[in-house]
Every structure is written in C-alpha cells, then in structure tokens.
Structure 1
Amino acid sequence: MPLLRMLSLLITTFLSGCSALAPVNRLVPSSGYDALEGLSYGELPRQRLDVYLPAELKPNAPVVVFYYGGSWRNGERADYRFVGQALASRGMIAVIPDYRLYPEVRYPEFLRDSAKALAWTQAHRGEWQSAQGPLFVMGHSAGAYNAAMLALDDRWLAKEGLSPEAITGWIGLAGPYDFLPIINPDVQPVFYHPQTPVDSQPLVHASASSPPALLLAGADDDLVDPQRNTEQLTEALRSQAVAVQSEVLADLGHIKILLTLAAPFQQWAPVIDQITCFVTDHASEDFSPPSSSACSVSSR
C-alpha cells in the first residue's frame, strides 16, 4: 500500500477511536532492542507498562516515559511499539505505560496512574543500569497533557513521594494545555464539564521551577490548536525564564506528527531528531546517541 494512502487510512481509523497502529508496528524493525512487557506498576489491570531497552545499553542512558493519547478514552501500550523502537534506536530507554481511561475513571485518576508509573520507573531504573541517568516524560495529545501536568503541577508526583525536580525535561507533541471551555463532546464528561476545575489546565501551572521543555505541534492540526496550546504555553514558560524549545512544524497534522516517529515516516519531519537532540542536550556528557542528528528546533 502506498505510504500516502496508508497515512489517510491510519488517520481516519485513529480519529474514529479504533486502533490503527498495528500496520505501523509491522513496518518498524523488530530488532535492535529488548522489550520487557507487561510489568506491573500497580495492582489494577490497566496499571501495566512495557520497557524498551537499547540492544547496546549504555550505563545511565536517558529514560523517557511516554504517555499515549486517545482523548483519555482509548489507547493500548502495545500499539506504540514504534515509539519504543524509535527511542531505543537512539540509545534511550523507553517506558510506555497504560493508564485507566474513561468511563472507568475521570480526571484526575489518569494523572494518578501516570505519576505512579513514573514513580515505579524511578524506583526500578537501576535494574537497567540507569540509576543516575536523566529522566524525561513525553506524550502525544492527551498523553502530552499527562506529561505536562506531571512536569508543571507538583500535586501528582507528591502523592508518590516525588516532585517535578525528578524530571530532567519534558516533551509534548500536539498537546492540549489550555482547553476550557471544553468543546469536544468526547472529552467533556472526562473533565466534569461544565464544572471542570480551572487548575486542571497545564497553562496555569507554568512557573520558574518548571523543567525544560520541548514543545512540538503540527501547523495543520485541526484537533488541538497549536497557537492556543503549544505557542501559548511556550510563551508562559519563557516568561518565567524556563528553557523551552518550541516549533510548529509545517505540513503536519495531529496524527501525522506522531507517525513521524515510526521508522518508515521519519523523513516527513525531523521530530525524532529534535527529541534526540533535546534529550542529549540535557543528558550527561557521557551520553551520545548511536546515530548523529542535526538539531533544527526553532528558538522562537
């Protein structure tokens, strides 16, 4: 199937709430990493995660915890093997957790799960020779919201005995950071619309103590407005003197920016290179990714 036709099919299926990523996973390399699957970070069925270790694991390699999107209603960690492969191929340890979804739970329970998964990672990373390595959180769409809230709002990690200071940096792809009033009918019940708490929005938690951020979005995103979300949060963080790398990338939409992480589609945009450069910039001097990449993130 031609790549453009596949892309159209993937986007249509993804936005319908169905899993469209199995074909993507079949296209990415199945070697070059070791996968530890179905590890429990809690007692509940959805509190499981997978870990992707680079085949050539270096001591204190960066750890990246990736939260997937799906409007807090859909998603399975197994669908995101292509993300684990992409990060592991650049020398990073990727952790991909499931978390409870609506209608089983509403805000803020998925944040509690996200924090619990991060705390588990922090406690077990020594088993992967990375006890002293940098720790990042990353997400796409609703998952970028989860990552943002862990990085910016200390309430969630505090419940796990941690603070955002444990996070070296965070990465948001097409994230919703300021979405009140909620227009999307699928998201309204998740956040108790119209009684959604104002402090559920990442934007209000931007502060001078926030960790460095890499915020990327697609200029053609018609689901999460990049100007209102990515660019507005960028300005809020920079006004607090937080180090932020940010770019709205041409010719990318809400799903296409995620698909650029998959090996067959990485030529569409340098997203995986930008992530690698951001992690490298904030990692120890001992870390260098297996493949070189040119950093092209805008400093706007």
Structure 2
Amino acid sequence: MPRQISMVKSRLVSKIGQVQLKLKDFRYYDLASYAINGLTSRKGYYFHKNIAYGLKARQRLDLFRSKSPHQKRPLIVFVYGGAWSHGDKKAYKFVGEAFAKEGFDVAVINYHLAPEHIFPSYVDDLTLAINFLSQQKQKLEISSDNIVLMGHSAGAFNLMSALYHPSPYEKTDLDNIKAVVGIAGPYHFDYKGDPLAQDAFDQSVPFQQVMPYYFVKSNQIRHYLLTAENDKIVRDSNSIDMQNMLKQHGNHCEIRTIPKTGHVTIMGSISSLFSPFFSTKSQILQCLDETFN
C-alpha cells in the first residue's frame, strides 16, 4: 500500500509540474485569443499551416491565401507581440482571416523567444521569413511585389528593427516593402531593468545601440503607427519619437490613435467579430488603400 501511495503521489507531482509549465507560458489574453479564433470564419481563404521558413523548430509560419482572383495580391507579414518572451502564431488566426477576406495574403510567423534567445535573434527570424516568402512565392502561390509588414507591440519593434538595424542577413525584397503598420510598438526606450523587456536584450549593451530609432534611413516606405488611446504599457512617446526621426530623414509617417482600446484590446479589435465596434481594422485598411491605390 505505501508503495502504491508513493506512485500516486509521484504521478500527481508530475501532473502538477506539467500544469505549472503550461501556466507559466499562459497569459490572460491567450484565453481571449483562442476564444476569438474559435469563432473565426474559415471561409474566404486557403489556410496552410506550419510552413518551415528555416531549419529551427520556431521558424514556422501560417499562410492565409485570399480567394481574391487578383494575381498580385499584397502580402501582409504579421508579427505578434508578447514582450519577446511569449506568443504563438496559432493565437492569431483572426488576423489572417480579417485581412484575407479583404483581398490580402497574410503570413503569421513564429520566432525565437526570450530568455533563451535575445536580440537580434527574433529580428533575424523575420528577415529570414521575408526572404523565404520571396524565394518560394511561386510554390506558395503568392506575390512578393507588394509587402506590408504589420506587427503588434514587441512584434512592431521587430519589424522596425528588421528595417532599421544592421543585420548579417541581406534583405532580398527591401524594395518591395511598401508599408509598415506598427501597432502599439516600442521603438525608443531603455530596456535596462524593465521587467517586461530586460530578458530579451543584452543588459550590457546600451539601448542606443539597439533601438530602431537610432538607425533610420531614407526610403519610400509608408509608415503607419497606431497607438491605443488607453495604452498603459507602451508610452505614446515611442511612436512620436519614431515619427519625428522618420520625418527628419524625409520618410513618410502617420500616427493614428484608436479610441476605446488598450495595449491588448487594440489587437482583438481587428477581429471580424469586433471590428464593427472599433476603428482599428478600418483605419488599417485606409492606410493600405492609400499605399496601393
């Protein structure tokens, strides 16, 4: 009997450990994302899951191909947030659906996460994904002539850094990146001691050597920076500073503030379920219409 009790206790401890590991990687907004995805329509697009854009396990993307007959549909590459330490593409099916039904192809990428991986590994993943999509466009039945980089929070930082930071990877389709949509992004802040960001960066490296704000170059890309009216996590100064620096270099940049949203809810408001009640999706579509028409 004591041996049986010991075995039961051992199994129970093992189960509790598994649950704790899952909870450690869980955020309250995951539940909302999965609930939204469960109600997201599967019509209007073709879904291709877990496409490898690199050799490592996290280098995977989901592709939502619109059923629009247009031969050269713009391609949105979406990068989710999560303080560089959390997130998975499977939670953002609603983003793919929201824009695929509007005639865009959408790639939602996974990338390496902190603390095991720090800057610039997750930025290099994005560059690798962009290059892959360009090189495999015929096989994937997409076009890379008109690329839109879209990201939320840490994901917005990643895409800005892919454009405005030295990289060992050549960007094969930089000229084809027509627009950037940064949603509640941190582009100019000191990560030293920041509880949300410190594990994602080398603390011995000054933020002035990392932030995309300090590496802006002149180009023809249209930059749209969306801020949430009630954002309590990322300060508006990030977008204001980035806009000022972009304009100093002669680049296009607009800031658009989305009413009635916070740092997390600004993303959920893109969903087709909620977009009738918020201006987030319509504002993004206006930006893209300005870019391509």
CA deviation digits over 1:113-155, x for unaligned, max 9? 11101111111223455436311111000001111112223x3
Report the alpha carbon displacement of residue 38 of structure 1 after superposing the two structures with TM.
0.7
Structure 2: which amino acid aligns with 1:31? K
Q: Tell me, yes or no, if structure 1 residue 83 matches structure 2 residue 95.
A: yes
Paired with 1:125 and 1:245, the residues of 2 have a C-alpha distance of: 30
Gaps of 5+ in 1: 1-12, 286-300
Which residue does 1:234 correspond to in 2? 243
Match of 1:73 among 85, 90, 106: 85
The aligned length equals 269
Structure 1: which amino acid aligns with 2:123? L
Paired with 1:210 and 1:222, the residues of 2 have a C-alpha distance of: 32
Choose 58-67 or 102-111, whichever is displaced more. 102-111
Gaps of 5+ in 2: 1-24
Report the alpha carbon displacement of residue 174 of structure 1 after superposing the two structures with TM.
0.3
The answer (yes or no) to whether the contact 1:151–1:211 under 8 Å persists in 2 is: no
Q: Tell me, yes or no, if structure 1 residue 114 matches structure 2 residue 126.
A: yes
Q: Tell me, yes or no, if structure 1 residue 273 matches structure 2 residue 270.
A: no
The answer (yes or no) to whether the contact 2:73–2:143 under 8 Å persists in 1 is: no
Paired with 1:73 and 1:91, the residues of 2 have a C-alpha distance of: 32
The answer (yes or no) to whether the contact 1:21–1:79 under 8 Å persists in 2 is: yes
Structure 1: which amino acid aligns with 2:95? V
Structure 2: which amino acid aligns with 1:167? I
Paired with 2:209 and 2:219, the residues of 1 have a C-alpha distance of: 17
Which residue does 1:42 correspond to in 2? 54
Choose 193-202 or 236-245, whichever is displaced more. 193-202
The answer (yes or no) to whether the contact 1:188–1:194 under 8 Å persists in 2 is: no
Structure exhibiting the larger radius of gyration computed from Cα positions:
2
TM-score (norm 1): 0.83
Paired with 1:174 and 1:151, the residues of 2 have a C-alpha distance of: 17
The change in CA–CA distance for 1:84 and 1:163 in structure 2 (over 3 A counts) is: closer
CA deviation digits over 1:55-112, x for unaligned, max 9? 2341100001000000111111111000000110110000011001012211111111
Q: Tell me, yes or no, if structure 1 residue 244 matches structure 2 residue 256.
A: no
Report the alpha carbon displacement of residue 165 of structure 1 after superposing the two structures with TM.
2.7
Structure 1: which amino acid aligns with 2:41? P
The change in CA–CA distance for 1:161 and 1:246 in structure 2 (over 3 A counts) is: closer
CA deviation digits over 1:239-262, x for unaligned, max 9? 222111211222211011111111
Within a 5 Å distance, the mapping from 1:1-300 to structure 2 comes to 20-131=32-143, 133-153=145-165, 155-156=166-167, 159-162=169-172, 164-209=174-219, 211-226=221-236, 228-283=237-292
The change in CA–CA distance for 1:252 and 1:101 in structure 2 (over 3 A counts) is: same
The answer (yes or no) to whether the contact 2:75–2:144 under 8 Å persists in 1 is: no
